[in-house]
Structure 1
Amino acid sequence: MWRPRVTRIVAYTTAGVVVVTLAVLAVVVAPQFGLSDRVFIVAFGLFVAWVLHMFARCRVVAEESGITVVNAFRTRRFEWPEVLDVSMAEGEPWPTLDLADGTSTSAMGINGTEKALAARQLAELKALLRVRGETPDPH
């Protein structure tokens, strides 16, 4: 399984700070704000935390039968023969899987900002694709 480290740390830390800050704000806000306003403030903080969680949960999971790509708001499962190639050009935020049906999909679980980790994860995924996929090795 591959997942970004920094993204998870930043997302969950930020989510915690947002929820705690808005909960405290809901308690100490001026008296003219009613209960519904205070509930909305906390609910907004929880919504922001949920969105951050959705980005932090991104991962790429390789199994014997295929690969599961968990992106922020969509999870897709592919059998190995469905994935033709994986590439990530310099400066791209995450790699792209080229699929047998002519489409492509992003794999947000490998984060390009974590350069060394992303390069290692991409190399591991490419090696698995060569072994388990049906695309011949270009070398």
Structure 2
Amino acid sequence: MNPPALPVTWRPHRTRFVAYGFAALIMIGAVVMALAMAEPWTWLDRLFLVLFAGLVAGILHLLARVRVTADERGLTIVNALRTHRRTWPEIIDVGMVPGEPWPKIDFSDGTSVGVMGIQGSEKANSARALAELDALIRDHSDSKDI
């Protein structure tokens, strides 16, 4: 496969739809409940209900924001809690074991990181994204001169 034109970003589709859908549903439900709560509940109780819903929506946003972006200098891997930036010479390989939720990228320093931006549950999309990412890694690796 030929590598795609840079820059390119891969992100899961279903995960984003589900996470943002649930976040909206939770926030709307919390606001409706806060407005409809009976008298023993104070305005502070209602406020904390909406704030808690906002915390849950924020956690869902962390799961929905995952992505992998490739540019001329390297990869930016945005996972739920951490963002990794690596240059092309540091990247050795990408692979996905059948049954795993996302692929892993191996680096020249011996470490590896999961790539949550490519979800294994999206079979066709993940296979295409993995093939494109692998082609980019092979195209930009230092070993292409060997």
Q: TM-score range by the shorter chain?
A: over 0.9
Task: Work out whether 1:108 is the aligned partner of 2:110.
Answer: no
Which 4+ residue blocks in structure 1 deviate beyond 2 angstroms? 134-137
Q: Which runs of 5+ in 2 are unaligned?
A: 1-8
Letter in 1 for 2:39: P
Report how far residue 135 of structure 1 moved.
4.1
- Larger RCO, structures 1/2 (Cα 8 Å, 6+ apart): 2
The one-letter code matched in structure 1 to 2:18 is V
Q: Is the 8 A contact 1:84 1:134 kept in 2?
A: no
Do structure 1's residue 60 and structure 2's residue 60 form an aligned pair? no
Matched, 1:36 2:47: no
Amino acid at match of 1:117: N
Tell me whether 1:26 sits opposite 2:34 in the alignment: yes
By how many angstroms is 1:37 displaced? 0.6
Which residue does 1:17 correspond to in 2?
Answer: 25
Alignment RMSD: 1.1
Code of the aligned partner of 1:133: S
**For 1:125, which of 121, 133, 144 is the aligned residue?**
133
**In structure 1, what is the equivalent of residue 13 of structure 2?**
5
Among all aligned residue pairs of Structure 1 and Structure 2, give the percentage whose two residues are the same amino acid.
50
Residue 69 (1) aligns with residue 77 (2): yes
TM-score normalized by the length of structure 2: 0.91
Q: What is the identity, as a one-letter code, of the residue corresponding to 1:114?
A: E
- Give the alignment's TM-score, normalised by structure 1: 0.96
Instruction: Judge conservation of contact 1:3–1:59 (CA < 8 Å) in 2.
Output: yes
Determine the C-alpha separation between the residues in 2 that align with 1:26 and 1:133: 56
Deviation at 1:12, TM superposition (A): 0.5
CA–CA separation in structure 1 for the residues paired with 2:47 and 2:139: 53
| 2:19 counterpart SS class | helix
Shift of 1:136: 4.9
Q: 2:53 aligns with which of 45, 53, 56?
A: 45
State the distance in 2 between where 1:39 and 1:87 align: 46
Change (3 A) 1:26 1:135: farther
Spell out, residue by residue over 1:12-54, the C-alpha distance to the aligned partner (whole angstroms, 9 max, x if none).
Answer: 0000000000110111112101111100000011111111111
